């Protein structure tokens, strides 16, 4: 009789341990899945926020801040600017952007070591959780004018046109290309168009 009771205790103990282990595994997987979902949402929000700031040069700082505000741990966020080719669905980081293209995309990567519930049993207390997102924008640029800014097309009555930007700022997420000078002739005479001139102006590209 005592032998049978001992066998029952062993069997019950085995199933209790098995049940607790299985429960811990399910909770652990759910926790890691929820954490990864948070990181993915944070990466997507950060990438979109960063792509909206490509023109003013603040994309990296904005993306990093948005990622942290949405649940990414401090020190876990990496932001990379580059070019996203919509046709090939490929991201080219700075330094590898194809010739003639421009920075139109932000990649946000989040990598963090997350504690595991079964760490004591598996000998691995933390598991690395990764998330990555890319957002891109079309070529954009804008001109910022202040109280003392001026835009002039050309001297009145002159046969030479040369646009002038004074005390202004131009932002662009691509190269700023200036038109070359040209002279056009017609029945009323000729007119020369020169590349734009800048006076106390700043260009950010």
Location of structure tokens 């600017």? 81
Neighbouring C-alpha atoms within 13 Å toward the C-beta of 30: 6
Asked whether 83 and 105 are in contact (CB, 8 A), the reply is yes
How far is residue 145 CA from its own chain's centroid? 27
Determine the Cα–Cα distance for residues 93 and 91; give it in Å rounded to an integer: 6
Q: What was the pLDDT predicted at 135?
A: 92
User: Torsions phi, psi of 5, nearest 5?
Assistant: -60, -40
Determine the Cα–Cα distance for residues 19 and 4; give it in Å rounded to an integer: 22
Structure tokens at 202: 């700043």
Q: What was the pLDDT predicted at 33?
A: 85
| Predicted TM-score (pTM) of this structure | 0.61
Beta strands, E only, the chain: 77-85, 90-93, 105-115, 126-136, 141-152, 160-161, 164-172, 182-186, 189-193, 197-199, 202-204
Determine the Cα–Cα distance for residues 145 and 171; give it in Å rounded to an integer: 11
pLDDT in tens, the chain (205 residues): 555 555 666 676 666 766 666 766 676 777 888 889 999 999 999 999 998 888 777 889 999 999 999 999 999 999 999 999 888 889 999 889 888 787 889 999 999 998 877 665 666 778 899 999 999 887 666 566 666 777 666 555 555 667 777 777 776 656 666 666 666 665 556 667 677 777 777 666 6
Report DSSP letters for 4-30, one per residue.
Answer: HHHHHHHHHHHHHHHHHHHHHHHHHHH
């Amino acid at each position: 009789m005592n032998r049978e009771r001992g066998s029952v205790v062993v069997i019950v103990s085995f199933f209790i341990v098995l049940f607790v282990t299985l429960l811990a595994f399910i909770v652990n997987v759910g926790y890691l899945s929820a954490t990864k979902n948070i990181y993915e949402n944070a990466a997507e929000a950060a990438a979109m926020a960063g792509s909206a700031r490509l023109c003013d040069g603040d994309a990296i700082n904005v993306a990093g801040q948005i990622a942290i505000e949405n649940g990414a741990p401090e020190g876990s966020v990496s932001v990379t600017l580059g070019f996203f080719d919509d046709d090939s669905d490929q991201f080219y980081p700075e330094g590898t952007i194809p010739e003639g293209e421009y920075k139109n995309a932000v990649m946000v990567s989040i990598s963090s070591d997350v504690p595991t519930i079964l760490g004591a049993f598996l000998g691995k207390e933390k598991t690395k959780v990764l998330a990555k997102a890319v957002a891109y924008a079309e070529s954009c640029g804008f001109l910022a004018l202040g109280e003392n800014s001026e835009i002039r097309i050309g001297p009145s009555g002159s046969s030479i046109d040369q646009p002038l930007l004074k005390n202004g700022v131009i932002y662009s997420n691509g190269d700023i290309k200036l038109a070359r000078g040209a002279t056009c002739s017609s029945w009323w005479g000729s007119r020369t168009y020169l590349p734009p001139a800048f006076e106390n102006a700043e260009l950010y590209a």
